[in-house]
A = this chain, B = another copy of it.
């Protein structure tokens, strides 16, 4: 593949957003990547086909889910080199301009991101309801009771062909939050229980009063988190 072909493939924000979402070796599904790129699934399919044909991404099917990952270290390091080596017009840290409500808590496709997503993930690891092993989340062999407390039946979730708990890198916090079936189940159950509500712009999330109580009392979040 020539330099020009490579340039052409990465020369669009949608494809770059997908690549960046996958940096760090995680696998994400087509719909999740469509969300990250801010396009419809049809457009995402078109872009993903190009990335796979260019051998930048690797695709594997798992039931009806199509998972994509970066195709090797050399691709990742090339993207990193471009990101770090090219002259910038504007060196400002884009994170300074994130709306506070998006930074605090928001949906990332169908799971939680932002400070809330990161903090929940961190606490689940701390109480050993999740294991962070070699930069990836895993469920422990013995089911932690917190899932029942929240109303999540892990044995049912385990039956899914969807990845259970891939690590999603938070673009505002630059720390990981849990995605996949477990991440989605946590988010769905919190909506169902009235602990969080989606805001009108469908991205940011408001934590309700009962949600605040639940997060402090049951999950052990610090009260200072809500200041």
Contact = CB atoms under 8 A, between A and B. Distances in A.
Interface string A1-45: 111111111111101100110000000000000000000000000
Interface string A54-65: 111000000000
Given A1-B88, A88-B1, A89-B1, A6 B74 contact: no
B3 A79 contact: yes
A78 interface: yes
A87 interface: yes
Interface residues of A, number: 35
Contacts of A13: 2, 4
Contact of A82 (B82, B83, B87): B82
A90 B148 CA distance: 54
A55 B2 contact: no
A227 interface: no
Contacts of A55: 87, 89
A16 B86 CA distance: 15
A131 interface: no
A75 interface: yes
Contact of A85 (B5, B19, B74, B83): B74
A26 to B, nearest CB: 18
Contact of A87 (B1, B4, B11, B77): B1
A88 B57 CA distance: 13
B56 A3 contact: no
A1 to B, nearest CB: 5
Nearest to A81: B81
Interface of A: 1-13, 15-16, 19-20, 54-56, 71-72, 74-75, 77-79, 81-83, 85-89
Given A3-B82, A4-B12, A78-B81, 13 more contacts: A1-B86, A1-B87, A4-B10, A6-B82, A7-B8, A7-B82, A8-B12, A56-B87, A72-B87, A75-B87, A77-B81, A81-B82, A81-B85
Which 3 pairs from chain A and chain B are nearest by CB? Answer: A7-B11, A7-B10, A8-B11
